[in-house]
Structure 1
Amino acid sequence: MPNFKTLAIFLFMCLSCCRISLSTISPNSKGKQKEIKLLSGPQDKDVFELKLISEEPLATDIIVHNEAYYKDTKIRRFNGTALGYVTPWNSHGYDIAKIFAKKFDIISPVWLQIVKKKNNYTLAGTHDVDASWLSDVRRKGKVQMPQQRAVKIFPRVIFDYFTDSDIKLLLSDAQERSKLNNELIRGCQEYGFDGVVLEVWSQLAGRIDDNYLYALVLQMAKDLEKQRLQLILVIPPYRKEMPNLFGEKHMERLYKHIYAFSLMTYDYSNFQRPGANSPLYWARRAIELIAPDGCHDVEEKRRKILMGLNMYGNDYTPDGGTPITYSKYLELIRHVKKHLTYDERDVENFFEVKTQTGRHIVFYPTLHSIHERIKLAQELGVGVSLWELGQGLNYFYDLF
């Protein structure tokens, strides 16, 4: 409950020396623990048949089933656009992309940077391009029937080693932008990419006039489109305490030329303000501010929004804490004896434990929290973007 969660976090962070009653399995417990058989890999039943989607899941159920998934990975439940990010520093994500390729429309490897060197632009990060993996993903994501969609590859691109003067020149000079775009097009054609995911708006918005950003993004989209390539733009979400960097006016100006918008609806909380990773009401609000009900061409605009879903969590400790992926999460949840706590307002689960390393409050996705966000995406008519594949639990993909 919201009041309970706020109080729990306050007590945890401010009064860490007090004795708090926690649901843990003590490593020094003298009682014998029942040995649990862990499931892994393809299974005959999915999470729906097994009735594993619960507001307050049992820790034991998560431990037993998390590495398993339904054997027919071709089945797709989500009918909107689904994008999955993968990164070179998380090799498990490469495997997930291959196993569940048919559940995604777009895979975005986080590989590339545009680098400014003297008067030229160079595409860096190509040493991470794995041709064999790309071939496997495309083969496994290949369509078998006309109504199916083949998976596309859109690597993420950022600007790197740009000085303020480099940015100023790029924003003010159409010929400079053409040089940069030509280098992007060359790389896409060389490696067989379908387009790029551009992450630049958050870095520049609020610092410069919007018209310069429009010029940069629109020219890139149009130059790519001439070569039958597409542009996905990463955009920041609404935050109450900060200026709105991307709103309805930006969407109205850009949506006809941009293939999709990857909305970063995660990292809502931080170590100074612990709490939910992505409250459901906040994700809804972020979408409705960009494409409100009744606005011009609302269905087309929302169809192009990819609501961000975090596959990682946060482990808050008296020292601050850190983001966590599946391995650390599973290590911590083994100390939970019964159910995870459910926050009705944020529609997320968390738990509190004490281990040999100290006290922890852990927020991490569950089948229920992800399922509710998928239902929200379907209700609003938007797609989803997962940051990132390989950080979550295998059985999450039964939901998509």
Structure 2
Amino acid sequence: MFATYYEIIHYSVTDTIYVCLVNTGSGVPFINGLDLRFMNDSPYRTMNRLLLPWVQADLGGHQTQSSTSYNDDVYDRIWRLDVNLNDSVSISTETNIDIQGSDNPCRLPVEVLRTAVQPRNGLNSLSYNYTRYTENSEFHVFFHFAEIEQIAPGEIREFTITLNGLNYGLFTLEYLKPLTIGPYKLQDQVRFSIDATLRSDLPPILNAFEIFKLWPLPDSPTNQTDVDAIMAIKKAYKIDRVDWQGDPCLPFTTWSGLQCNNDNPPRIISLNLSSSQLSGNIVVSLLNLTAIQSLDLSNNELTGTVPEAFAQLPDLTILYLSRNKLTGVVPRSLKEKSNSGQLQLRFGYHLQRLQLIF
């Protein structure tokens, strides 16, 4: 049996992230561990899509293993050491690189930045072709630089970057100061060259680069207003159902008594809390389920009055409140919608203290 790990970068728009394993027909899913890393407002953030690391290349190193994760990598990236650029040679330094004082948001480890590659003698270009591409794929590419050679006064190292035939630059480096260029968005493949300009005294260098594949999320999480509402309902009524966890509607509706539509993002359209031992007033959070079509609160211990705001829910066609301890007046607006056939309204015969006003 081989261990398998998966790494994704996901930018969450909320403070809560739901992780759900689903049986897709290949057996009951399981997981041995889940590690989360806080990436803050790094350049890796994307909206409504995942970043899948395909290549994270540490260039110029002499380690024997094919990959490594450095202890001081705050993002816990796994860097490949076996990636080679055409006709390149390695260079390195033992001098410290101040990554703490740098404003580079990618925050590469010192060990990655201390090594680099440059073209062989007489050449002025570094090139690389990424061959594991697929059609209709989108990639993000980052280039990481740090000048690790002391350049003689009056000399410059200046270069351009060509990506899939398009030119970018001019770029120059400062001694021992990290520089990240990107992300560049590429379609279908990744082909780049880094070329010295005509006035450059030195060949180009490259310390590291990263290629991410963008993976679209087929569905958005449940509408956040609905999530906030159902969580408030769960808390107010102390609902303790084993299946009431995770995203209410995704990957498919598993919450008992709850139904969602197929919108993107999905909305909660039906809620059945009948015989759920609810007590207290009808909470206002129920009124925040603005796409609700059917609401069943029957056979509970609810008290207080019926909110007239139920009549303002535009899609509500079923409202069951029978067998509770509600008091007061049935709102005229609800009765009018019931009489006109817009609302199926049930109070039942156990609500003797409710008054119907016509």
Structure-2-length-normalised TM-score: 0.23
Structure whose residues are more often helix by fraction:
1
* Greater radius of gyration (CA): 2
Structure whose residues are more often strand by fraction:
2
Structure-1-length-normalised TM-score: 0.21
The structure with higher relative contact order (CA 8 Å, sep 6+) is 1
